Amino acid sequence: MHKILILGPQGSGKGTQANLLSEKLGVPALSMGNLLRDEIGSGSDLGKEIAAIINDGNLVSDETALMVLQRRLENHDAKGGYILDGYPRNAAQNEVYKSFDQPTAMLVVTVPREESLDRMKKRAEIEQRADDTEEAMLRRLEIYENDTKPIIDTYEAQGLVRKIDGIGTVEEVQLRVNEALNI
């Protein structure tokens, strides 16, 4: 069973790699960002709350993120494993995650800060996402550096981290992911 966490700065290509890995392994790729955007799209009160937080460049509360994630992990297609993209992002989320599951591996897609910003700007132009203002992008990178990297260190100490160079074509990075997981 594969329970893979995939992390990296915004714009690193982790979502693309999560989807490719999902196809290869036959397990769902779950993006916390997409799960939250789906909630926003539902028009629920919770979705409206999430929209306001994300549009300011901040992250939703750990309780909200957990609630959205747990609901999704109850679906039948996640019973055989999953790829979790962009979660947990901080120590509190990691503690909550560890209380109900343990990953089999953590992939960390690495790209330099400037490359990450350039990619986010291109994505913002294409997708016209309200949360992709330059200020919000810089805030998310700061959160990644301060809050997410310590989690990576925790799993690295357990021997679960595989660092992937995110520079190159999608196919080149995919090959590195497959090699890192021996699949």
Q: What digits encode the pLDDT tens for the residues 136-172?
A: 888 889 989 999 999 999 999 999 999 999 999 999 9
Determine how many CB atoms are found less than 10 A away from the CB of residue 37: 17
102 pLDDT band (50/70/90 cuts)? very high
Q: What digits encode the pLDDT tens for the residues 38-75?
A: 889 999 898 999 999 988 888 788 888 888 888 888 88
Residue 14 Cα distances to 19, 50, 67, 96, 164, angstroms: 9, 22, 23, 22, 10
Domains of the chain (ranges, CATH numbers): 2-176 (3.40.50.300)
What rounded mean pLDDT belongs to the chain? 90
